[in-house]
Structure 1
Amino acid sequence: MGRLDEIDFLGSLYDLDGLACTDSRFKTARGDIVQHWVNNPLDWPDDWVFEDSRFQLTDGPDEVLLAFLARLVHPQVQPDIDQSSRRVEELNRLLGPDGWILRAFDFLSGRPIYQAVSTQATGPIVSLPLAARRSWAG
């Protein structure tokens, strides 16, 4: 997560002490994450946060995922402006078909801070050869 570890990164977006724990030995999500990701990193797969329903990244409101993505490229998380810019370009390529982009709205120490904004959908990521498609109707 750049400069921030996972706990600090997630703590900047979620109340980790207010979220439920999936392990009965702990009281909050913070304890759960420390145990299963920090202390025992093999307990959970690398992409665990996307599958964890507490964070609503897979099936929650668009705004939750968009805030997460914008935070990934925040100067406090990703201080390298070139790396941040490349990530924003790639994310915008993926978000564009759904009518979203990350756009700079402010600066911190000369580095852009991004937020998600609605835009005209750009169409599919991969263009299909429409003339070669078969009809399902026969």
Structure 2
Amino acid sequence: MTYAELETELNITPAMIEKFHCMKTVSVPSAGLIIAPSDIEGMGVVTQTPRYIEEYIAVAVLNGDRTAYGRYLNHSDDPNAYVGIGPGYEMYIIMSRAVPKNTEVTIDYRIILEGGLNDNVEL
């Protein structure tokens, strides 16, 4: 599925895209991840070490600002991660399955846009 098809399916408007792209991006450290060219679209979050199921790997949104990891998460119909909400409403990237190093971390955008975030994150 292309991004254009996903935007149509989810009724994403140009105004929604503009609002998302105008969000401030903050820098936070996270070991074992890099932002690198993506085979899916533009840039993506890529593992530098193997990752394991239910492993917390990075903060996606902190104090209402997205991090670079949140900004560059790409969509997949078969994602290997999901976003969970912590006790302070921060959003975390959590692996939904184990992956080897040099794997792009992906989420299903539909889940976020439909309000299906996991709000029971225990770190």
Q: Same fold (TM over 0.5)?
A: no
Higher strand proportion (structure 1 or 2): 2
Determine which structure has greater relative contact order: mean sequence separation of CA pairs < 8 Å that are 6+ residues apart, divided by chain length.
2
Q: Normalising to structure 1: TM-score of the pair? A: 0.27
